[in-house]
A and B are shown apart, each in its own frame.
Chain A
Amino acid sequence: MLRNIIICFCLFAACCSFGSQVNRIVSLGPTVTTELNILGVGNKIVGNTIYSKDSKNIAKIGNITEANVEKIVSLKPDIVFATDLSNPTQLALLKKLGIKIFTMHNPHTYQAMCEEFVKIGELVGRKSRAESIVEKSNREVNVLRAESSKYPKQKVFFEIGANPLFTITKDSYINDFIKFAGGINVASDASAGIYSRENVVANAPDVIIIMSMGIVGKQEKMIWAKFDTIPAVKNNRIFIMSADKLASSNPLSFPGTLKEIMTKLHPDKVK
């Protein structure tokens, strides 16, 4: 019996040991880097994209779409975290050279985001820390959801690209921001691609949220001002939000951003 327990313990340790043996991590996306930092393994990152602003001596291995295979190999990573935007040919080359890769897919829902976060935690030996962060996030989100369900639903148009016009469909977790905040995404059933401004006018959203890109955000606001049949325009409920907060969300930041959106949707009600 004791022998069995010892064997089980050893197997269990072996399973966990990969996680604790991860000492050198390469990240191919700033979102991943942020999550790794949250999990407390930021000091194990040896390679990063040029977009991650950290002051440490971390090697730069490329940008979000192009990674330098040679550089990565020379860093001898234990694991490489890739994203949907990483070049598949380069990933195939890394795989061929025996490097372990985990590809993060842009989560379609908040739940998927949490599951992926836990998976990352598992891979770097911080599973329990990941799980507790997710648990806390879930609690806060549920509280906010309960609150927003009391308020009348608001029709929302979420603009993430101007010239041409791009929006969020139900394929993105940002859709969950809208849902949980008590909003209805007017474009949720649309297919990918350029969205027609006509459709927005026809859908008459109560709120328009523009994911800002500097001056473009202000210019877009002025364009929308021409369509004063839209309630959002009439009632001056067009908001600009920062792209970082929205596009690089993680379970830790999610509740905070959700609250911010809720205040935009239900201004008199949320404090």
Chain B
Amino acid sequence: MYFKKIIPVIGISLLAMFKQVSAQDDTHQIIKLWPEGVPGVKSNSDPEVHDKNGGISNVAVPTLTVYKANTDQANGTAVIVCPGGGYSHLAFVKEGVVPAKWFVSHGVTAFVLKYRLKEYGHPAPLQDVLRAIRLVRSRVKEFNIKEDRIGVLGFSAGGHLAASSGTLFDSPEGKTGASLDSISARPNFLMLLYPVITLRNPYAHKGSGISLLGLNPTDEMVHHLSLDEQVSSSTPPTFIVQTEEDKTVPVENSILFYQALRKSGIKSELHLYANGPHGFAMNPNLGTTSEWPDRLVSWMDSYGWLKQAQ
């Protein structure tokens, strides 16, 4: 009797361990964002959780996992990839590792960002993404990339984080007094996939808002993190993809950001498809929606980012 109960438990644990390896692939370099100590660290936090679908939650030690472009293909462009998960977990494989490998196949060096979530709330995720950009930019020689070719891509809540980096890059919240603070945290381009943009009704994604700001945020904070309200003339060029069918994050989020970019004179491209539920990521079976990576290649190509840097 006892064995019958314990065997499945062992099986599940083994499976979990196996998946943990695939989410945290140890053939790739992992860089801690805050070697000097994570700002605002909580001393008695629970351990990080890795689920069977390649997801991660309860992040306490933010990192970048490096997917280096092959030397003969590398074009000098880098992308920091922010997985989504409503700021409560990270779809680390589906919206991190998989797109990172796709970038590598196009000569782009990718960094998958593991950022802090609802256990910390705002400003921890913003601190993490801005530190990530500063860190990558401070080590361009080591990664064989150019400091003016660093993009940030994000899915869903990761899209909110990416859009935060493109609008709040100078925010004092991103600085901790470290010498790295002097390096620009402004991304050179943004790529937003079914992004969370606004925290205001009726188009807000409630879960993301609660994870970031709690149940009763001030209007000031809602304004601060409703990113269509933060676009300025220094927001970088942006590429946006979203579907009409998305029931989790309304397509209006993409439209709001696009219209704000347009108002500020920022060049951008918007692709809104019909089919595909929220979180389609790189699913190849969604008709024309699955062609978004081709659109991204065309867009990056039109800026010369996929050609060898001079």
**A and B bind:** no
User: Which B residues are closer than 8 A to A by beta carbons?
Assistant: none
User: Which A residues are closer than 8 A to B by beta carbons?
Assistant: none
